Structure 1
């Protein structure tokens, strides 16, 4: 994208009646038998290179295995794997045969898995040796699951992935899936209640991610793209699957049990990685390292998503690398719907501008578009035409599906405002805004201010009850290495926030903690902290 306004004005979606990502994208790239699709490495220094043709063949073999196991078109297959090559093969096989993929993080408990099996009426589970015991613990109570496939060492009661795939035929007739057939079922990491089941279809989601790969990730067929995301949440589909492979870019995959900022920087310096995507938390951890010790000769583009980017993180990274981290916004329910696209002048702290193909506005409680600089609900226009890339529904929950619509709009659940130039600015979740002494305070701004102080590694801000003001700002702070909690540091941080933001926004309460509660996708559960503060109180 060279000209944002021109691209946005002229953009048109093209969605065929029938679409299958494995056939229409992967097999097309596989026509060049040598075209690299993935460079996979682990912590032991092992390297594996896979072409698009390798993935095309492996997904056909696995599709035959799944068919033999009784999996039919429309059946739900739960996939719980770390960054193993088999995760990509499994996704492609399910898409190829028309089965519905339901990804899950390896952090799920046996209870979580049981809930997903029951809610989705899953017929098959594909996982590894570390997670198989969780499945065995609850499988007797999950009668719909008729097939268990294990990646790794053989296990009693399970079909061994490698043996079954090796013995299967490469001949498989790809299902001619309709564009509106169900393809992916996400369990969203909600802040209240059980996770919702978010359904995406065969055409809308993969085709919608052309926006993600082409315009935001800025990918080309010769790129090597690294996404730091876990495989269990939707960001992996954005930047580890549909986005890059739509564009024919190769994936760099690092298989590791935990994120190490030092190891990440070492790999970024060693391999010819051209583009990178990470959560702001990843970047925050990396900038605590001595970045002057590393050179990244091939790196040209970096993006962040999953939570808003803090301006100070962008500045430190740019000073060290010369690259501006571009923010992007979307949800489990969508592809990228807003971003700081490479052709836009970045405004640090802004989410950027609406993606081509999306009418993204800030609206009031009646569905009216608000003027610039007025805070309201961030919403996507869905009538008269629903945009490509937006979810189909919350499966089996029409009431919940209806609850996120207001007139012609889909409500994201986030609060924001748009400036005079069309840039969008995130305020917070609709239920996270703090009302203190008549002021509306977004937690993100306070968190960003705290993170500018060298003592703060991570922070979360919520409301806390107060006899006079009704509620005040409270910050939970994880300290950076070398700092210790003290009353003096509390005062120092409070004065710092007063200077960086408006004085009324400073945290009147600060609690130093070793960790923060997070969802399985790594987002801070502010609601849990807020509920602790308000336990026994009436708001």
Structure 2
């Protein structure tokens, strides 16, 4: 059964069941399916006609340029239904880059087996197009939904653009199960809390950056939350303890994945606390191996054009119990006069310090040592940066001291909920 056929089934059987809530607007499964069928081609964004494949089938890419979550979702599903290869552009991509992306796609072409495209997050450079078959998601939905405890009764809150692979996969996975997705365009955590309480949300899907915003602004318990699903960015014990206080009934589920490879490993919060630094054990049918400190993943649920065993150059090792211990991406290291400093390890250390709420490290050029680093921090109330710096100088050798630490009220985030380090570098260079 295809994704569209699944939605049609829900429309036929439970047309009045709520599929999507965006702020004050509610959309039933019947309304969502009808919106897909009734959409007209004149409302779509940009089509790249790549001619025909050898067998005469259409080869058209639909570049979706909409900021509205509902429009992004409906156009993506419409393209899937019509046989277009849909790709949602990040809102932060300007017109010049979208034109450049169209030229790249026209030049490189699209694999015949592709049903839609996804974009990398672009945190380290320009977003790149990747191509997927529908089955690479669809055939894994039951597996991931079982791990994440997602079913027809699920009310999940998430925040972010549908262009982010993690969000789009989760949204379609929840709709596949017949559950309800709740979201908002608002960046205000108080609005998130209001929606969570109003609609009795039982799941939250978010990266740690968003969870830190939530705990900073939440002054009461969210008793309805049963599960928090989080991607494997920098996680720390303090955040876990804060989440346990405001969501006393929740089970924490941490996952590690990649746009190229889908979900790879997962663990519970308890497992993470027992093995700090782990990203868990493999999902069913997924295999992992380590070679020279680099993680290799074997799965059939990957993008088109790569082998079943592949690496995205993430580093780590597998412990004696089969848990993957994650060390970051290869090259995520500062070479400070020959002394190697791991950025993920240093961020984790700084994040653990009392008084630091959020942290991000950027690499800078240094005339003497070649490379150095700057730490941007968001401090908790009443924390003093000078005392934190004093503690770092006491606990770490001088070669590991940041060149400078800069206090800011909030870390800039990309639409993919990741720290926008390109913007931090711009701020530093302008300063």
Q: CA deviation at 1:108?
A: 1.8
1:303 matches 2:229: yes
Counterparts in 2 of 1:282 and 1:51: CA distance versus 1, 3 Å: same
Structure 2 SS opposite 1:412 = coil
Indicate the residue corresponding to 2:54 in structure 1: none
Matched, 1:187 2:119: yes
Corresponding residue SS for 1:360: strand
Q: Distance in 2 between matches of 1:316 and 1:493?
A: 24
Partner of 2:391: 492
**1:186 to partner: Cα distance:** 2.1
Q: Counterparts of 1:187 and 1:449 in 2: how far apart (Å)?
A: 31
1:302–1:324 contact (8 Å) kept in structure 2: yes
Which of residues 45, 56, 61 is equivalent to 2:38? 61
CA distance in structure 1 between the aligned counterparts of 2:123 and 2:182, rounded to whole angstroms:
32
Larger Rg: 1
Are the structure 2 counterparts of residues 463 and 66 from structure 1 closer, same or farther at C-alpha, using a change threshold of 3 Å?
A: closer
Any conservation in 2 of the 1:436–1:471 contact (CA below 8 Å)? yes
Corresponding residue for 1:88? 73
1:454–1:344 CA distance, 2 compared to 1 (3 A): closer
Q: Structure 2 matches for 1:341-490, cutoff 5 A?
A: 347=274, 348-364=276-292, 376-381=293-298, 387-393=299-305, 409-435=309-335, 440-462=340-362, 474-480=374-380, 482=382, 485=385, 487-490=386-389
Measure, in 2, the Cα distance between the counterparts of 1:199 and 1:434: 32
Q: Quote the Cα distance in structure 2 between the aligned partners of 1:91 and 1:465.
A: 42
Shift of 1:359: 1.0
Larger strand proportion, structure 1 or 2? 2
Give the Cα separation in 2 of the matches to 1:79 and 1:103: 5
Q: Flag structure 1 segments of 5+ consecutive residues without an equivalent.
A: 1-18, 123-178, 365-375, 382-386, 394-400, 535-539
User: 2:272·2:279 contact (CA, 8 Å) conserved in 1?
Assistant: no
User: Which residue is 1:108 aligned to?
Assistant: 93
Whether the 8 Å CA contact 1:434–1:471 is kept in 2: the answer is yes
Root-mean-square deviation (CA), in Å? 3.6
Asked if 2 retains the 8 angstrom alpha-carbon contact of 1:301 and 1:324, the reply is: yes
Unaligned 5+ segments in structure 2 are 50-56
Deviation at 1:58, TM superposition (A): 1.8
1:47 aligns with 2:18: no
Deviation at 1:477, TM superposition (A): 2.5
SS in 2 for 1:111: helix
How far apart in 1 are the matches of 2:154 and 2:277?
A: 27
**2:341–2:400: 8 Å Cα contact kept in structure 1?**
no
Aligned pair partner of 1:79 in 53, 64, 67: 64
The answer as to 2:195 corresponding to 1:218 is no
TM-score, normalization by structure 2: 0.83
Does the 8 Å CA contact 2:88/2:118 hold for their aligned counterparts?
yes
Q: Secondary structure at the match of 1:112?
A: helix
What residue number does 1:204 align with?
136
TM-score, structure 1 as length reference: 0.67
Q: CA separation of 1:272/1:488 partners in 2, compared to 1, >3 Å: closer, same or farther? A: closer
Provide the rounded CA distance (Å) in 1 between the counterparts of 2:418 and 2:319.
26
Q: CA deviation at 1:324?
A: 4.2
Alignment partner of 1:82: what SS? coil
Distance 1:472 1:100 in 2: 43
| Distance of aligned partners of 1:388 and 1:61 in 2 relative to their CA distance in 1, 3 Å threshold | farther
* Equivalent residue pairs, number: 414
The counterpart of 1:232, out of the listed 145, 163, 178, is 163
Match of 1:248 among 167, 170, 178: 178
CA distance in 2, matches of 1:199, 1:111: 22
State the Cα distance separating 1:37 from its structure 2 match: 4.2
C-alpha offsets along residues 420-440 of structure 1, whole Å, 9 cap, x if unaligned?
Answer: 211112211211123557765
Distance in 2 between the 1:320 and 1:226 partners? 16
